[in-house]
A and B are shown apart, each in its own frame.
Chain A
Amino acid sequence: MSDPVAAPSTRQPGQPRTALLDVDRVQKTYTGQGRTVEAVRNLTFSVGDGELVCIVGPSGAGKTTLLKVIAGLLEPTSGTVTLDGTAVTGPPPSMAVVFQEYGRSLFPWMTVEGNVELPLKQKKMGKERRAELVRDALEAVGLADAHSAYPWQLSGGMQQRVAIARAVAYQPKVLLMDEPFAAVDAQTRADLEDLIRSLWHRLGVTILFVTHDIDESVYLGERVLVLSSSPTVIMEDLAIDLPDERNQLDTRSSPRFAELRHHVYEQIQLAKHRRGGEPVTGPAPAGSPT
C-alpha cells in the first residue's frame, strides 16, 4: 500500500494508483408493499488511492443509493464494496460523508466548532489534538473566525463549508460527497468546487463526488463515471485529461473542457433513454491534447 498522503508534486493525472475502494457487481433492489424497484442493477468500478472521481448521471439514476451503499449506510442486495482490503458492512471508520442537505446534517444545537469536533470525540485523541484538528479544518475551508457561531447563523455556502471541515478534521481516507453543492447558488458553487480541488491537492484524500451537474463533474474530476438511468449500470468510465491546475475561467473556456463536456452530455442524453442492461455504445472522446 502506498503512502496515503501523497505530496502534491507526485499527483499526475492518469498515473496508475493502488485501488483503495472496490465496488464489485453491486446491485440494490428495494422491496416493499408487493412491488420491487431495482434501483441499481450492476455496478463495478474501483477508485485508486488519492483519486478524485466524479459520478454523474441523470436524475433518478440511483446515485444516492450507490453512495449510501458505498458509505455502508445501506446494504446492497448483492455484490460487495471493499475499502482498503476490508469488506464494507457498516459505516467504515476511515470514510467521511458530506451530504447534500447541510442544514439537516449539521446539528443546530451545536456551534460550528462543536459540530466539527463531535466526530473526533469518538476517536481516541487528546483534547489539544482535537482542538488543533478543528482549528486547521476550519481554517482550510476559510471559516477561521466562525468557531462560536451556530450553523443556522451562516449562509448556505458557509454551512456546507462547515460540513466539509467536519469531514476534513475527521481525517478520512475516502471522502464521499453526495451532490454537496446542489442547494447553493452558482457563485458559491464555483468557490466550493475550487475549495474541493485545493483540499484534495493539499490532503491527498481520495474523493468520490456524486453530482448531476455535467460541468461540475468534468471540472472537478480526474475521472468521470457516467451512470445510466435506473436500473443503473456504468455507461462510461472517462478519464479527464485536463491539466491538473484548474481554474473556473480558463479551464471552463478551454476547448478540451468543451469536448469532454459535450461527450458526457451526449452520454447522459443517451442514458436518459436507455435503461441498464442494454448494450453500451457511444462515440469515444476525441484524442487527448497532450
Chain B
Amino acid sequence: MTTTDVPALDTPDARAGLVPARRRFAPPSSALGLVGLAGFAVLIEVLPRTGLVPRDYFPPLSAMVTAMVDEVQTQGFWDALTETLMGWGIGLGIALVAGISLGLLLGSVEVLRRYTASTIEFLRPVPSVALIPLAVLLFGFQLQSTLLLVVYAAFWQVLIQVLYGVQDVDPVARETARSYQLGPVARLRYLIWPTALPYVMTGVRLAAAVALILAVTAGLVGVGRGLGAEIAVAQSSGAVPLVYGLVITTGLIGVVINLLARALERRTLSWHSSMRADIGG
C-alpha cells in the first residue's frame, strides 16, 4: 500500500562526522522531491498544449486548477468533502477500536488465535468493493453503506498488525514481567501494548489510506454522496478538467492523512529504535 520511507540523512557516517571535510553539494531529499513535483506539473501543463496528448481528455494543469477554484466556491463541494471525510473518519474509528480490541484478545489467547487464524486468512483477501451489493441491500445509498465498506477494508489492516505485534513480545521481557509478578492487566498495559504499538501505528497508517480509498470508491459507484459521487457526476457531464481537479484533491487529502499518521507515529514511538538516535551500545 504505502511505501516506507527511510530517513536517509541519519547515516552512521554522517553522525560520526566521518564524511570528508571537502564539501559536497547534497540538497535535502525534501527539496529534491519538490523540484521533481514542480517538473511534473510543468510537464502536464505543456504536454496537452503541444498536442502530444489529446487536450479533450487530458487538459493542461492550469485548466484543472481553474475548474477546482470554481468548484471549491460551491456548497456542493464542501458537502461532498464532509461526507467523504465523515465516512473515512467514522469508518476508520470503528475499524481501529474493533481491530485493536479483537487483535489484543486473539493475540493474547493462544487457543483463540489458532481457532481464528484460518478464518481471518479467508476473510481478509475478500475485496471490500465486492461487498457493495450487500451494503446497498442492507443500508441503501446512505452513509452506513460507505461505513460498511470502509470498516471492512480498514479492519483487517489493523487486526493483522495487532496480531503480529502481540506475538512480538520479547521472551526476556516476558520473563522479566513474570518474575516481577506483573498481573494480566499490568502485562497488557506495560508490556504487550507498548510492544504492539509500532505495529498498531503501521496498521493505523495503512488503514487510514485504505479507508480513504473506500470512502471515495463508495461515492464513485453511487453509494453515498461524497467526492467519489462528485467525480462521477463531473465525468458523466463531460467536465473533464473538474474530474482531474477532484482526483488531485483526493490525492492531496491522502497526502495530508499520511503526514498526520506519520506525525502520530513519531510522537507515540519516540522510544522505538526506528525513531530514536541511539547513544548507548
Where the two chains meet, the residues of A that have a C-beta atom closer than 8 Å to any C-beta of B are: 68, 71-73, 90-91, 93, 95-97, 99, 101, 104-105, 107-110, 118-119, 121-122, 150-156, 158-159, 166, 170
Asked if B182 contacts A122 (CB within 8 A), the reply is yes
Min Cβ gap B236→A in Å is 52
Asked if A99 contacts B272 (CB within 8 A), the reply is no
Contact with A along B242-273 (1 / 0, CB 8 A): 00000000000000000000000000000111
The winner among B181, B272, B276 for most chain A CB atoms within 10 A is B181
Residues of A within 8 A of B173 (CB): 104-105, 107
> Beyond A104-B170, A118-B190, is A152–B181 a contact (Cβ under 8 Å)?
no
> Beyond A105-B173, A152-B271, A156-B281, is A122–B194 a contact (Cβ under 8 Å)?
no
Q: Is B191 an interface residue (CB 8 A)?
A: yes
Asked if A91 contacts B271 (CB within 8 A), the reply is no
Asked if B175 contacts A158 (CB within 8 A), the reply is no
Asked if A91 contacts B280 (CB within 8 A), the reply is no
Asked if A73 contacts B179 (CB within 8 A), the reply is yes
Asked if B183 contacts A122 (CB within 8 A), the reply is yes
Min Cβ gap B197→A in Å is 8
Per the bound structure, the CA–CA distance linking A146 and B76 in Å amounts to 58
**Closest A-chain residue to B183, C-beta based?**
A122
Per the bound structure, the CA–CA distance linking A175 and B191 in Å amounts to 22
Per the bound structure, the CA–CA distance linking A159 and B280 in Å amounts to 9
Min Cβ gap A207→B in Å is 15
Residues of B within 8 A of A97 (CB): 175-176, 179
Of all A-B residue pairs in the complex, the 5 with the closest CB atoms, nearest first, are A119-B180, A104-B172, A109-B194, A91-B179, A97-B179
Asked if A99 contacts B172 (CB within 8 A), the reply is yes
The winner among B172, B180, B276 for most chain A CB atoms within 10 A is B180
CB-contact partner of B280 in A68, A95, A96, A155, under 8 A: A155
Interface of B is mostly: loop
> Beyond A121-B186, A155-B280, is A170–B172 a contact (Cβ under 8 Å)?
no
Residues of B within 8 A of A68 (CB): 175
Min Cβ gap A76→B in Å is 16
Contact with A along B184-224 (1 / 0, CB 8 A): 00100011001001000000000000000000000000000
Asked if A122 contacts B186 (CB within 8 A), the reply is yes
Per the bound structure, the CA–CA distance linking A6 and B250 in Å amounts to 73
Asked if B190 contacts A73 (CB within 8 A), the reply is no
Asked if B176 contacts A99 (CB within 8 A), the reply is yes
Residues of B within 8 A of A170 (CB): 180
Residues of B within 8 A of A122 (CB): 180-183, 186
Min Cβ gap B268→A in Å is 10
Min Cβ gap A155→B in Å is 5
Residues of A within 8 A of B272 (CB): 108-109
Asked if B280 contacts A118 (CB within 8 A), the reply is no
Per the bound structure, the CA–CA distance linking A159 and B172 in Å amounts to 15
Per the bound structure, the CA–CA distance linking A240 and B52 in Å amounts to 91
Min Cβ gap A208→B in Å is 13
